[in-house]
Every structure is written in C-alpha cells, then in structure tokens.
Structure 1
Amino acid sequence: MKQHRSVQRRIWSALSGLAVTASVLTVSTLAGPTAASAAPPAKETSSVQPTSVYTEFTGWDASGPQEGWTVSRKGSQNVEWGFSATREIAPTGSEGIFADVAGAGMSWTSGTFGVDTSLVSPAVDLTGQESPTVEFDSFSYTTTDGTYATSHSVELSLDGGRSWSTAWAGDANQHVTVPIPQAAGHAGVLVRFHFTGFAQVWPSWTLDNVFIGTR
C-alpha cells in the first residue's frame, strides 16, 4: 500500500508539472497576438531637420497648426494664433489661408487686452548656410497708446526654445526679409512670431508665405 501511494504521488507530481508548463505556454502564446493587436507598431518618424522651411498655411483650419509648427500662449487670455481665409484682412501676397492674431468682441475696434502668443516654426538645420533669412508677408497694426500698446517680433532660439533673442520688431504691411546671421551654421534653429498686447477683433497681425533658410 505504501508503494502504491508513493507511485500515486509521483504520477500526480508529474501531471502537475505538465499542467503548469501547459498553462505557461498557453498564456505566452495568447499574450503575443493580443498585445500586438491592441498596440499596433508606432509609425517611423524622421529626426532629420529640414534645411529650409516654406509655409503657405494651405489647408490649415481651426483644428490647429500643421507641418511641425506649434502655437503657444501665456497668461489668462484665451487668444492665440489662428488661421483664416478672410480676404479683407489678408496680408499682401497672400492667396489663401494665412495665420492671424485676433481678439474677441462685438465690433472691429474691440478686442482683448493682455494677449501673449507665439507661432513657432519647426526646427531648421542651417548648418553650412552663411546668410540665412526669415521672410514673410505681413499685415500688422501697432500702437504704443498705453493699455492698447502692441508689439510684433520675430525671435530666434538656438537652444531648443529655452531662450529667445529678437531678430526683428516693428510694424509691416508688406513682404519682410529679416537676415539672421546669428543663426548661420546652427542646427535646431527655431523661429517664432511673437505678439503681445491688445489684440483687436480686426486682426492685429496676419502672416503668410513664411520662409526660413537660404534662397
């Protein structure tokens, strides 16, 4: 009888081992396809920076910026760069959709105080370029009248957006070319169009046909 019970224990132990092994294999087999179907492989992305950027904002809409551009804002005001096709406010040279900063209100002369918003380019590789420029078609309205004061500037970052320097500031209703020799030879150059101040309902700044690089 003792020998019989000993044989039973050995058989049960062997069967338990097989059961455990089978269980592990089953989980492993099922987990593979399930995980793959739940999380499809990520699309490959390129880290290569373009050596120039030309943006016409064609096809852009209220859904937000495209082609590596970003929009940011500071402060409590819910006003930032947007995109429009209203011809009455288009910058000279624009033929379609363009970027604009416009405040909120019930008339063309009303607007929003304390706006601080930037339209930021994708990173550009200017390595090997000696005389790069930023070019754009612009329509802007600038005032230094107290609380209605505004500023429009083109700024550069050579350190991934941690710090910015002004390359151009002013009021322009024409095609603008801004030399940026300080960015020559650098990779990862960011350009931003920075607006601050009182944003009118009639846009305070519109942009189109933006070029960054060397012609």
Structure 2
Amino acid sequence: LPLDRPDLFFTESTPLHTSSPYSSSKASADLFVMAYGRTYGLPVTISRCSNNYGPYQFPEKLIPLIISRALNDETIPVYGTGENVRDWLHVYDHCVAIDMILRQGKEGEVYNIGGHNERTNLEVVKTVLRALNKPESLITYVTDRKGHDMRYAIDPTKMETELGWKPVYTFDTGIPQTIEWYLNNKDWWENIVSGEYQNYFQKMYVDKGRVEE
C-alpha cells in the first residue's frame, strides 16, 4: 500500500499483487489451496497475517535481530530510510486466531489477522533501543531490498465480527513482554546466533555412533 494513503487497508477481497518472486511464491500457495477446495472439495481455509513478533522468533527477524545486536553493542541495519511500514501482531494473538479459524471458520473462506499496530521500521528499532537503554548511534542504513513493499496494513474486521477475535496485545504492551523474554532466554538465541544449534545432529547421533555420516 502507498505511504500517503493511511485510509487504505488490505481486506480479504484485495487482489493479490506481488512485488518479488518471494511474495509471488506465497500468493501462488493461496491459489493452489483455493483450487483444491473448489475442484476437489478439500476443506480449506486461508489466513493472512501481518508481521509477527514475540518469543521464540528466529534471530534473523527484525525485532530479535535488534535485541541481540543491541545487547552486544553491534550496529543495527535498517533498510533504506527506515520508512517502510508494517502492522505488527504478537504471536500469541496470531495463534489464538488460527485456532479460532480451525474451529469456527467457514470452509473456503479467507481471514485477515492484523493488529492495527502500524509502525515504520525505524520506529520499531528506536523503540527497542530505548527499552534496552542503547544509543540510536547503533543504527546504520543499508541499501533497500529490491521490490521492497512500502506499507502493509491489514483489516481484521471479518475476524472480529464473524469469529469474535480481538488481539490481547498492543504493540506497546507486546514489545516489553518480548524484550523481557529474550533477556531471560539468552541461551536459546545465543545458541542460534553462534550457529552452534547446527551441530545438534552431529553431537546427538553421529558422535554417539547412532548413525553413519
């Protein structure tokens, strides 16, 4: 969506319009699912969510990346000018929504899951840095991705009116909870950042003689 049209939101009927091969692969998956529903009567539903954040998110994603690098006083890369806007949804609220769709959703229907928590990437970075008491001087701007969409904003009215779903977390309440989780679970994400988790199979099976390489 364009940055100068804050009144526009993605609805379930918004045409799929992709900007990169990556997003095209996700859109094509939706079309495949719908085709199986129409052609073979497969009982399907589709959910489309906004950007997720929260505990256990892989450290390469924006918010855990900011946290892990800021704690080590490393630079925080920000694409372009940081003005790209995303609607942020806590993973707990996303999981609740998926469960409701599975139990109560109508077959063949599409459901948007969003939190009305739009923030620019730069706002997100600065929010996390303030919470960690780290300087904004850690921010470094890098070349924007090709085909990078400027704004995502999802209208979850259908979820709210038909299934009674409402998010528990706002961005302002979810971010402190998320940061606290990463501070209390450093062993989990440090193991991933270091790449040590990739040696799990070697340690558990090959080194113990359970399988041959």
How does the TM-score come out when normalised to structure 2?
Answer: 0.20
- Greater Rg over alpha carbons, structure: 1
Structure in which a larger fraction of residues adopt strand: 1
